[in-house]
Structure 1
Amino acid sequence: MFLHLGGDVIIPKKDIIAILNFRARNSAITREFLELARGEKSIHVIAEKGKEKSFVLTREQVFVSPISCSTLKKRAAMLISAED
């Protein structure tokens, strides 16, 4: 199954490691992680400036999504129940 992250971005649900609230960027450890990802050019920004709601971490990339982490979680849960 796939998860729509906003814009035209859809990723395989199995690739998702974590979905974090965008406000988590204020944490020291999150800032350090994002700096490393930025240096590796693995951040893909889907959201417009000022409309960022969540980070979606995969093995290869970090997506900045305009969709809240709670909405993404609900979408993922719906996909799980649809698979049963």
Structure 2
Amino acid sequence: MFIHLGGDKILKASELVAIFDLSIDKSFVVLEPFINHFTLLNRVERISKEKPKSLIISTTKIYYSPISSATLKKRANYLHV
């Protein structure tokens, strides 16, 4: 199964680790060292030029998505039902 992350980007559901809402500042502060590490490895992708609403962590990459975390979580939950 796959999850549409926005734009033309899809992700295998088995590769999904976490989805975070970027409007919650505390989440970003905790994740900052992790994001910086992935940035140094060139494994961060911004899906769209739109303002990102969510951060998706996969087994290999971090994605900034213009789709809300609530919508992405619904899509992910739909796959597990």
CA–CA separation in structure 1 for the residues paired with 2:38 and 2:78: 30
Report the equivalent of 1:77. Answer: 77
- Match for 2:15: what amino acid? D
| SS state at 2:74 partner | helix
- Aligned structure 1 segments of 4 or more residues deviating by more than 6 angstroms: none
Percent of residue pairs bearing the same amino acid type: 33
Unmatched 5+ stretches in structure 1: none
- Match for 2:10: what amino acid? I
Report the equivalent of 2:3. Answer: 3
TM-score by length of 1: 0.84
How is 1:48-63 mapped onto 2 (pairs within 5 angstroms)? 48-49=49-50, 51-63=51-63
CA–CA separation in structure 1 for the residues paired with 2:7 and 2:19: 17
User: Which structure would you say has the larger Rg?
Assistant: 1
- Match for 1:43: what amino acid? V
- Match for 1:57: what amino acid? I
CA–CA separation in structure 2 for the residues paired with 1:15 and 1:47: 20
